Amino acid sequence: MKRCKRHLALATLCLAAAGQVDARYYDEVIDSGYIRIGTYRDFPPYSFEQDNLPAGVDIEVGKRIATALGVKLQVHWIIPDENLGDDLRNHVWKGHYLDKDPDTPLARKTLADVMMRVPYDRDYAYMRESTGELTNEQVVLFGPYQRESWRIAYDSQKIDEVSTVAVFQYHPIGTEVDSLPAFYLTSAFAGRLRKNTHHFPSMPAAFSAMKQGNVDAVMGMRAEVDWQLHQNSDSRYKIGENGFPMMGKQKWDLGMAVKQSYRQLGYAVEEVVDKMVRSGEMEKIYQNYGLTYEKPGLYQVVE
């Protein structure tokens, strides 16, 4: 149990996991009666706890995957490391080096069978080391289910409108520390927005700084900003109409990851998620959380 607690915050779900570790083959998953879905901890609106129960769009998708496979959902909470490569290593193929229990030293490490919210990007998936080796050869990235982008929300009592980011030469704006918006706001336009950029540990913290009048706007991922607006439902806070010139990555797709030896599980999950995107069920999940939904590029091309 102790070992279990280490990575599975949900003690109730933990019971089923005792003695069972490591990511697993499709047959093992089906036989065991549960699937372990990896989602980021404390990351609304994607995955978080609400009234001590897992919630968020990624959890909802995970529930439907489990149902379709005829198994129970078990949530594997992920504490993000410095980059995606670290998260894939720690939670999909190798396990974290701190995941050890002196009482069961021979036990394998806890991994997610499937990890959610993994960017679906061919350039990333087939990236090579300087030595020529594939960087991500241990994992398969598959099943895009959402396209994400950037968004600004602003306080309409402080700023009339945000048609371009130029207004932030004059108005303070908040963002999450060590994120792409933080890079953007402190580097673009020869650093002219740098003075007015305020850094916060998270998007919720940036948004509450706006409510307290410390910043006039916030910049973050579209869904994160939508969620804050939805939670606060105050017409005073509005969505910026601006674009993000000079921003390297304007949009990107999100999918899932499995360990490369468990492709069969990946195919089964992909089938479920693909149906959800095509049938509009995915969009409904996002709408229930008050979020804009945009289909991944793959589906946009088909339409």
Which one of the spans 77-85, 160-168, 235-243, 291-299 is the region binding other proteins (CB under 8 A)?
A: 77-85
Can you tell me the distance from the alpha carbon of 35 to that of 246, in angstroms, rounded to the nearest whole number? Answer: 42
* Interaction between residue 79 and other proteins (CB under 8 A): yes
**Phi and psi, residue 263, nearest 5°:** -60, -35
Site for other proteins in 84-113 (CB under 8 A): 84, 87, 97-98, 100, 102, 105
Alpha helices in the chain (DSSP H): 2-7, 11-17, 26-32, 57-69, 84-88, 122-125, 180-191, 203-211, 222-232, 263-279, 281-288, 297-302
Contacts of 64 (CB under 8 A, 6+ apart): 272, 276, 281
Among 243, 272, 247, 109, which Cα is nearest to 185's? 247
The least CB distance from residue 186 to other proteins, in Å, is 4
The least CB distance from residue 33 to other proteins, in Å, is 26
Closest to other proteins by CB, 80 vs 297, is 80
**Cβ 232 vs Cβ 207: under 8 Å:** yes
Tokens of 31: 């036989």
**Phi and psi, residue 239, nearest 5°:** -85, 130
Closest to other proteins by CB, 249 vs 278, is 249
The least CB distance from residue 191 to other proteins, in Å, is 7
Closest to other proteins by CB, 181 vs 240, is 181
Tokens of 156: 């309409």
Closest to other proteins by CB, 67 vs 170, is 170
Quick one: which of 19, 52, 103, 131 contacts other proteins (CB under 8 A)? 131
CB 300: neighbour CB atoms within 10 A?
11
Closest to other proteins by CB, 68 vs 188, is 188
Site for other proteins in 145-174 (CB under 8 A): 148
* Interaction between residue 136 and other proteins (CB under 8 A): no
**Phi and psi, residue 261, nearest 5°:** -85, 0
Preceding amide of 45 cis, omega within 30: yes
Site for other proteins in 178-197 (CB under 8 A): 178-180, 182-183, 186-188, 190-191, 194-197
The least CB distance from residue 124 to other proteins, in Å, is 5
**Cβ 276 vs Cβ 268: under 8 Å:** no
* Interaction between residue 233 and other proteins (CB under 8 A): no
Interface residues with other proteins (CB under 8 A) are 5-7, 9, 40-41, 43, 46, 79-84, 87, 97-98, 100, 102, 105, 117-119, 121, 123-124, 127, 129-131, 148, 177-180, 182-183, 186-188, 190-191, 194-199, 201, 221, 246-249, 252, 254
